[in-house]
Chains A and B, each alone.
Chain A
Amino acid sequence: ILNVEQSPQSLHVQEGDSTNFTCSFPSSNFYALHWYRWETAKSPEALFVMTLNGDEKKKGRISATLNTKEGYSYLYIKGSQPEDSATYLCASKDYGQNFVFGPGTRLSVLP
Chain B
Amino acid sequence: NAGVTQTPKFQVLKTGQSMTLQCAQDMNHEYMSWYRQDPGMGLRLIHYSVGAGITDQGEVPNGYNVSRSTTEDFPLRLLSAAPSQTSVYFCASRPQTNTEAFFGQGTRLTVV
Contact = CB atoms under 8 A, between A and B. Distances in A.
Interface of A: 1, 4, 9, 31-32, 34, 36, 42-46, 49, 51, 89, 91, 93, 97-104
A43 B104 contact: yes
B42 A98 contact: no
B22 interface: no
Contact of A46 (B50, B58, B100): B100
Contacts of B45: 98, 100
A31 B98 CA distance: 8
At the interface, is chain B mostly helix, strand, loop or mixed? loop
Contacts, number: 55
Nearest to A95: B98
Contacts of A34: 100-101
Interface of B: 4, 33, 35, 40-45, 48, 50, 56, 58-59, 90, 97-106
Q: Which of B48, B50, B100 has the most CB of A within 10 A?
A: B100
A25 B56 CA distance: 24
Nearest to B6: A43
Nearest to B31: A97
Nearest to B91: A43
